[in-house]
Structure 1
Amino acid sequence: MDPRRRRFVMIAVVTLVLFILYTWTGHPSSVSSAVQAGLDYFMHVPDLPAANSTLGFGAIVAVSQLTSTRRNSLLLAANITELDVTIPDQPVWTDADVEKFKTKNGSLITRGSAMAWMGHLNVLRWFLDSGLETMLVMEDDVDWDIHLRTSQVPKVAAAMRTLLTEQRLGQPSPQSSREKIVTPDQAQGYWGNPNDWDILYLGHCGDMFKFSQWTNETEIPRVAVSDPTLPSPEYMHILTRRFLAEIGIPIKTRVVHKSISPLCTFGFALSRMGAQRLLHDVAGSEPEGGSQAYDVRILEACRDLSFRCWSANPELFHHQDAPSEIAIVNAKKGKDHTAHEHSSKASPPGIGVDSEGRLQGAAPNIACGTRGASFWTQDPETIEYLREVVGRQGHCLRDQHAEDMSVWPHL
């Protein structure tokens, strides 16, 4: 055989063998990358049963005005992923309500932020009247991944149960003992005993901090879990990507940890004790000296007021890239010129919503979101098809890479 041909055949054979070995052993997984990174707080979580329709909480509750054009899209997304979302009736807030809510000493809050804050307080009252022990609160412009109920939440909840069990025992467990999943019965709740936590930040615009704050695992307890449904770094928001790299989190890995500086209330859970403290002691009205927003006050509760708060990082819920209800209200009052410009360009019936009620844009850090034009339908047979193929089987029918998160200006 000609030497050049022999060399070509040898190269082809070696290439084929390497390809077969690579295919047989599988692609490098997030589990191996986390182990290789030396995370002593990594926990292997096997496939677990899907969460129930309220994700293990007493209820999923949306903060939404009666006239919100975002409800149809929210409820369709919940239908596709088989979530049971409750929307309590919200009063039509008046100028008198806003003035009563604002502090008389150094108010900083805008009308839109005050109305959004009062909407959250309305949900707190509903929850405390319901007799439930826990609830997940979401805002009506948030999106979540199609794997939320079937894969993401079971893993994050398992990590949370492990953390709370370790806290109750007084010290972190050795990594070897984390191979055994703490069951809901053992932990006295799907998310652990609700008497042991106040707020769970599952949806936020960042719980970001300096690496120096992350070095003490005793002070900041944490558990990392593999999550192949997370977007690759190049498709994450650039700030999230940089932050995760700075604190040494491998790709396709999510960390559940004691909250440090969480901001935004896109999707957060409350225990009964946490809700009572918020409503009656901390956030029942604008505090003296002023506050700019409800989520800022919640951050202060976690950071400064001894609330027991935990965060999932990266988040499970994020709002879509559209102006908020706060911006809409302020624009109507002439307080937000940018939002007013958006309003003049948006199609009816509102900012960031097309004529069918579909939210425009995408949500950062969500690989395959459930909202937007790709899944929009009102046909019962199509909805059932989407529930089976998208919600249960987890097939993404939209372009996961349509948005380049690296160029997004904000979270």
Structure 2
Amino acid sequence: MPSRTDRRDGMILQAALSDIDIDFIDGVDGKTIPDKAVPLLKPHDRLPDASIGSWRGHMNAIREIVKLKLSSALILEDDIDWDVRIKDQLYDFALSAQALAQPLEGSNQTYTDSAHSNDPEYPLTFAIPFERLPRTRPVQASPYGDNWDVLWIGHCGMSFPFKHTAVPKGSVVHRNDFTVPNRRHLWGYNEPFTLKESFQDHTSVVHHAQEGVCTFAYAVSYKGAVKMLEDVALSDMSDAFDFLLRFFCEGDRGMRAHKCLAHQPGLFFSHRPRGPLKSDSDIRDKGDGFRDKAYTDMVRLSVRLNAHAIIDGTELTDQYPDEDIL
């Protein structure tokens, strides 16, 4: 929201310390959106104003991508934090995304999922080790591949594709990814939390999105933004925006399925600053408590928490050190 100058100051500082350029899209107060501007395909009650405002704010960002004909854009919530190594993380994510969304070298229509469907080494999930990525066609439009709609890389929960769904099952497993905290520091709303329960410490996985929760950060291609205007902006406003994005990706609630990739754990998380808890949210009552210590979940070398160290050129602080590992 424009009134949250504290958040804009924080985002500009983080972006500057990370050598990243950002622009702001104003948040929307749902009370200002009339009923006639909220699409309904069947009769039902209007959602809470907070949900309406969030949906409209995201749709304004999507509309701007289409209007300006941007090849892609990364949309961030305004309280987000990331790791000092974010560019390295995104580079590795790009390689993994190409493996899943880009045609294999020498082919126009053969992708990793279909190519490995009969490979006995990957009988269930077609999990490709990061160090053994397949060769794909050279990318033309984006370092993340030429055939994606959404990259859901900041969330508070994500599932691996379920066996009974049509969501592609391919994945890239990056072991010894030391930007990821020890498993005991990981959390998410989705159950089971397979990444925490079934993989070794310091593992990240890129896969097709299933049951995403929260939209801390997601990238949209131009083609994906056009599709979202049709399927989300002008379709039934029946659920909160993160659920609508889930339906968009998976092809649920009458929407077509789209090409959406996710990163577990997410690369962007909400920062919780020192101060009154009520400052955490503009749409939910967080009470009258006070937080004595700032933190960001699951981000080891937080840009926000290391701002002084980055500016002064001193040693960075790891929020989640492996003190129990010799």
* TM norm. shorter chain > 0.5: yes
**1:98 offset after TM fit, Å?**
4.5
Deviations 1:329-349 (A, max 9, x none): 4xxxxxx5xx1x52x446xxx
Answer whether contact 2:278 2:289 (CA < 8 A) is retained: no
- What's the RMSD between the two structures over aligned residues? 3.6
Aligned residue number for residue 302 of structure 1: 249
Deviation at 1:215, TM superposition (A): 10
Q: Distance in 2 between matches of 1:217 and 1:345?
A: 45
For 2:244 and 2:167, the matched residues in 1 are separated by 26
Match of 1:371 in 2: 304
Deviation of 1:328 after TM superposition, in Å, equals 2.2
Q: What's the CA shift string for 1:98-123, capped at 9, x where partnerless? A: 43444563135211221121111111
How many Å apart are 1:397 and its aligned residue? 2.7
SS at match of 2:233: coil
Output the CA distance in 1 between the equivalents of 2:21 and 2:61.
16
| 1:172-191 matched pairs, under 5 angstroms | 172=115, 179=132, 186-188=138-140, 189-191=142-144
* TM-score, structure 2 as length reference: 0.76
Counterpart of 1:282 in structure 2 is: 231
Structure 2 counterpart of 1:300, one-letter code? F
Does the aligned pair in 1 maintain the 2:129–2:174 contact within 8 Å?
no
Q: Which runs of 5+ in 1 are unaligned?
A: 1-64, 330-335, 347-351, 355-359, 377-381, 390-394, 403-411
Structure 2 residue 164 is matched with structure 1 residue 244: no
Which residue identity does 1:140 align to in structure 2? Answer: D
| 1:60-209 equivalence runs, <5 A | 65-68=1-4, 69-88=6-25, 90=26, 93=29, 95-102=31-38, 105-149=43-87, 151-166=88-103, 168-170=109-111, 171-172=114-115, 179=132, 186-188=138-140, 189-193=142-146, 196-208=147-159
Structure 1 residues 369, 176: CA separation in 2 closer, same or farther (over 3 Å shift)?
A: closer
Partner amino acid, structure 2, of 1:122: N
Question: Highest Rg: 1 or 2?
Answer: 1
Matches within 5 A, 1:328-407: 328-329=282-283, 339=285, 342=287, 344-345=288-289, 361-372=294-305, 374-375=306-307, 384-386=311-313, 396-397=316-317, 399-400=319-320
Paired with 2:71 and 2:58, the residues of 1 have a C-alpha distance of 17
The answer (yes or no) to whether the contact 1:116–1:326 under 8 Å persists in 2 is: no
How many residues are aligned here?
293
**TM-score under structure 1 length normalisation:** 0.62
SS of equivalent residue, structure 1 residue 115: helix
